[in-house]
Amino acid sequence: MYEDIQDLKEDYIFPTSEHAPITRTMLALYAGASGDHNPIHIDIDFAKKAGLTDVIAHGMLIMSMASKSLTDIFSHENIKEIDVKFVSITKIGDRPIFNASVLRKKIHKNKRLLNLKISISDQNGNIKLDGTAKIELSDES
């Protein structure tokens, strides 16, 4: 996809990638698949009692979207670290958009180490997830 992945430069901004809008079905499936059955993500009655207006997305579902965008760009085995903060809650109907750029690049022996800034924002530009990822590329990868 990125033929010049070995030549990525500092400050390079990756094309954004859009994920499917958050639906109740997605949250139910993610609850089942992940084992995170916290009702705040799947039960509107519970969410209201907790002081929210509706269920909210699992933070880890949003991180999974960021991770999916990373494995779309890089081979899974080249991803060495993902570190994120969940900055604000994600609601039903929000459209997560993945953003990434190269913060730093280091060359060590035959390896290229990339430190990426990553984030997920919504359709209004509000940041949901903010963090970094470390990528290690060797000559053959």
Partner 1 sequence: MKWIDKKLIGKQYPDIRFAIEKQRLRFFSKATSQTDPIYFNEEFAKQKGYPSIVAPPTFLTTVGYEKDNPYDFLDELGIEIDRVLSAGQNYIFYNLIFAGDLISMKSRISDIYDKKSGKLQFVEISSEFYNQKTTKVAKSISTLVYR
List interacting residues with partner 1 (CB under 8 A). 19-20, 26, 29-30, 32-40, 46, 49-51, 58-61, 63-65, 67-68, 70-72, 76-77, 79-86, 89, 131
Residue 109 CB, shortest distance to partner 1, in Å, is 19
Whether 131 contacts 59, CB under 8 Å = no
Cα–Cα distance list, 84 to 25, 33, 67, 131, 141 (Å): 25, 21, 11, 4, 25
Whether 83 contacts 103, CB under 8 Å = no
Q: Which of 8/84 has CB closer to partner 1? A: 84
Residue 42 CB, shortest distance to partner 1, in Å, is 12
Q: Which of 11/93 has CB closer to partner 1? A: 93
Residue 117 CB, shortest distance to partner 1, in Å, is 15
Q: Which of 8/57 has CB closer to partner 1? A: 57
Residue 122 CB, shortest distance to partner 1, in Å, is 17
- The CA distance from 93 to 77, in Å, is 33
- The CA distance from 28 to 55, in Å, is 11
Q: Which of 7/49 has CB closer to partner 1? A: 49
Whether 71 contacts 65, CB under 8 Å = no
Q: Which residues pair with 93 in a beta bridge?
A: none
- The CA distance from 61 to 44, in Å, is 18
Residue 34 CB, shortest distance to partner 1, in Å, is 5
Q: Which of 38/138 has CB closer to partner 1? A: 38
